[in-house]
Chains A and B, each alone.
Chain A
Amino acid sequence: MKLQRIHIIFIFSLFLGVIISMQVKSFSGINEIYTRDNNTGIFQEISILKLKNEDLRKEISVIEENLSQLSGQESAVQALKNELEKYKKLSGKFAIFGSGITLTLEGDISAPWMVDLINELFNIGAEAVDINGIRISGFISGIDSLPKGQIMINSSILTAPFVLNAIGESSVLYENINLSGGILDRIKMAFPGKNIVVEKKEIIKMN
């Protein structure tokens, strides 16, 4: 009877050991998810490089067409207008609008995580991003955090809730920002209980 009890306790201890070791292994896995960068695979790297090269080829075609238009007096004026319009859209100095998504984050967030979120929006195809009405552009892009959980951009102090707008293909942005294990999941793991709402928008205006 005593021997049987010892056997039972031994088997239980063994089983417990196995479970504990599996658990420890899982936590090291969680650590990977918890890191600020996404752990994507080799196929995605190849796919990104392929798409990037296609984009570069398209850009070369656009610039070559622009260059050829600049050789004639009339077409040169049109080429200038086209280029001017493109750069006005990108500069952050002119009001723009377009389709996209809006993210609303309740509560405080630190500067590095906000940087990661904005970075991810551009990474998944956003062409323009603003936060609480301040557009991220060439001369406004550094983000600092203040002791009371506010965010500071270019001397402007922003408080929660943080509303980020991103102009781009709304369905692509919506799908990619909500990917499992993506930036929103990582923020929620870093700030337990944080509420983040993502909405598709037909028209987003940025000043």
Chain B
Amino acid sequence: MNTIMKKYYLIVFILVGILLGLFLVFQFKTPKIIQSSFEIDEMDAKDLLIKSFLDEQSYLQSRIVALRKLVSEAQTEIEIKTENASIALLDNLKKDIGLTDVYGPGLDIILDDGSFSDRESSESSDLRLVQASDIRDIVNALHASSASAVSINNQRILATTAISSVGSNILVNNSHIAPPFQIKAIGDVQMLIAGLKNKNLMGDFLDRVSKYNLSFSITISSAISIPLYNGDLKTNYINLVNQ
């Protein structure tokens, strides 16, 4: 009996040891999350610094829009004087890229963080917050449903637009945007709505809307206005073939 009991304890201790070993292995294989800790005054200084950059960014973006409009006017003048055929091609390319204002029927979508959530103090992965990936999914669903133009908080979205996050802040074209997020799309309204209901395209966003009370409203409008792109365009590494 004593021998059986001893064997029994031995097996139990071996099993506990193995289990412990497994946990230790998992523990050391787990990637560590790097988290920064800031004092309150440092946070204030950071906020001030970010605000100054954002103020400057708003000014620079409005300046770009104004200058692009002046360039278009000057080009129209040249077209009148010279009847230059290149101007027509230029205008078409500008439309394709997103360098003209666009008007037409479409959707006005508003999304906002869930009730009782605080973007400033929340972790970036807080499921009650609208994530950059949610906005990417919505924009992709709209494009997949043949939207001809899309904007987020009045910023025109191009094919090359990156929608990313830094902490709990969302950046579009590397410009900071804050909730509520207004996404406007021009296109066939029924197709656009069908795209937004497609769970294949929308990830887990639609589930989170009901689970965490995220705000998500869609308004159909016959007159959506989407502004021209107000950012920079880089072609430093692109060359045209046969030029």
Contacts and interface: CB of A to CB of B under 8 A. Distances in A.
B160 A26 contact: no
A97 to B, nearest CB: 5
Interface stretch (B64-72, B103-111, B208-216): B64-72
Contacts of B53: 46, 49-50, 52-53
Interface string A83-112: 111111111111111111000000000111
A45 B169 contact: yes
Contacts of A138: 96-98, 158-159
B179 interface: no
A151 to B, nearest CB: 11
B46 interface: yes
A119 B164 contact: yes
A42 B93 contact: no
A51 B174 CA distance: 9
Given A16-B20, A40-B167, A111-B140, A99 B237 contact: yes
Contact of A49 (B16, B54, B146): B54
A87 B27 CA distance: 52
Contact of A116 (B23, B71, B133): B133
Contacts of A141: 140, 143, 159
Interface in A7-26: 12, 15-16, 19-20, 22-23, 26
A96 B161 contact: no
Contacts of B60: 53, 56-57, 60
A70 B71 contact: yes
A88 to B, nearest CB: 6
B97 A22 contact: no
B124 interface: yes
A90 B74 CA distance: 22
Contacts, number: 271
B203 interface: yes
A67 B70 contact: yes
A92 B27 contact: no
A33 interface: yes
A83 B243 CA distance: 14
Contact of B161 (A98, A116, A122, A143): A122
B142 interface: yes
Interface residues of A, number: 95
B124 to A, nearest CB: 5
B116 interface: no
Interface residues of B, number: 93
A44 interface: yes
A16 B16 contact: yes
Contacts of B235: 86, 89-90, 127
A159 interface: no
Nearest to B141: A142
B110 to A, nearest CB: 21
A94 B140 CA distance: 24
Given A29-B31, A137-B159, A56 B167 contact: no
Nearest to B160: A122
B63 A60 contact: yes
Given A42-B38, A63-B71, 11 more contacts: A42-B167, A45-B167, A48-B174, A51-B174, A55-B174, A56-B57, A67-B74, A80-B78, A126-B160, A128-B238, A144-B144
Interface of B: 16, 19-20, 23-24, 26-27, 30-34, 36, 38, 46, 49-50, 53-54, 56-57, 60-61, 63-64, 67-68, 70-71, 74-75, 78, 84, 86-87, 89-90, 93-94, 96-99, 123-125, 131-133, 136-137, 140-147, 158-167, 169, 171, 173-176, 195, 198, 200-201, 203, 231-243
Top 7 closest pairs, chain A to chain B, by CB: A142-B144, A142-B143, A123-B162, A59-B232, A87-B93, A56-B60, A45-B166
22 contacts: A29-B31, A35-B131, A37-B132, A40-B165, A44-B166, A57-B60, A63-B67, A70-B74, A77-B84, A80-B75, A80-B78, A87-B94, A87-B96, A91-B97, A96-B241, A115-B140, A123-B164, A127-B236, A139-B96, A142-B143, A143-B143, A181-B31
